[in-house]
Amino acid sequence: MIRLRLRWLTAAVVSAMAATIVVEAQRQATAQEMSTAEHDVPLLSDVLEVTAGMTIADVGAGMGAMSIVFAKRLAPAGRVFSTDLSESAVRVLRDAVTREGVSNMTVIQGAPSSTNLPDACCDAIFMRDVYHHIVDVAAFNRSLLVALKPGGRLAIIDFEPRKGSKLPEGVNPNRGGHGVTPAIVQQEVSAAGLKFDRAIAHWPPGSTDFFLVLFRR
């Protein structure tokens, strides 16, 4: 009986330690995302020409760090739409709205072929580390076009395929692996009706992680 109790106590302690490790890892990941967002958002604001009172959208927002920093930056008159595809990601975003107290941030669940943003709602839209996963490219890009106001800006932030990397399921083989090239982004988004503005080879400036391609409606 004593041995059984000791085993139970040991298992409980191990389980509690594992839960603590997971929580701490999540906390550190969130802190790192927020630090990155606080660095990148002012730079992206300049590229997208974001000013007070504007409405922007973070499409494929993940944990929502960029959305939160933008919402605080644009408060009180500006507005942020924050979208993601999965229900679990949407729950994370809604929890972030409550936790951070950002009343000017609206969470929307997207779809594989549409942002599900309202028509002509945005002065600017950005997608970070998302575009290379889009399967129904033509339909999705049309939804980006429709969501922008006349003169609105779109920034696609992504990375080029690594040699030998695995192509994500369902995406066009023209990607050449996990990622997408700036040339393909320019071609596909332009085909939807948006006007190519410029490409920035290293984003954020000085980094080699991503590139940025800017479009206008």
d(CA 191, CA 177): 22
Q: Residue 13 has what pLDDT?
A: 57
From first to last of its 217 residues, the chain has per-residue pLDDT tens of 666 565 665 655 555 554 454 334 344 556 788 999 999 999 999 999 999 999 999 999 999 999 999 999 999 999 999 999 999 999 999 999 999 999 999 999 999 999 999 999 999 999 999 999 999 999 999 999 999 999 999 999 999 999 899 999 999 999 999 999 999 999 999 999 999 999 999 999 999 999 999 999 9
User: In the chain, what is the straight-line distance between the N-terminal and C-terminal CA atoms, in Å?
Assistant: 74
Q: Beta strand 79-84 with 55-59: parallel, antiparallel or unpaired? A: parallel
pLDDT of residue 4: 57
Cα–Cα dist 87/108, whole Å: 10
DSSP 69: H
Structure tokens at 90: 């949407």
What pLDDT score was predicted for residue 33? 87
Rounded to whole angstroms, the Cα distance separating 58 from 155 reads 10
169 beta partners: none
**Dihedral (CA of 149, 131, 135, 87) sign:** negative
State pTM to two decimals. 0.86
Q: How far apart are CA 188 and CA 161, in angstroms?
A: 17
Q: Most distant CA pair in the chain: distance in Å?
A: 75
Write down how long the chain is.
217
Token couple for 170: 């369902």
Which domains does the chain show, CATH number per domain? 36-216 (3.40.50.150)
CA distance 87 to 2: 45
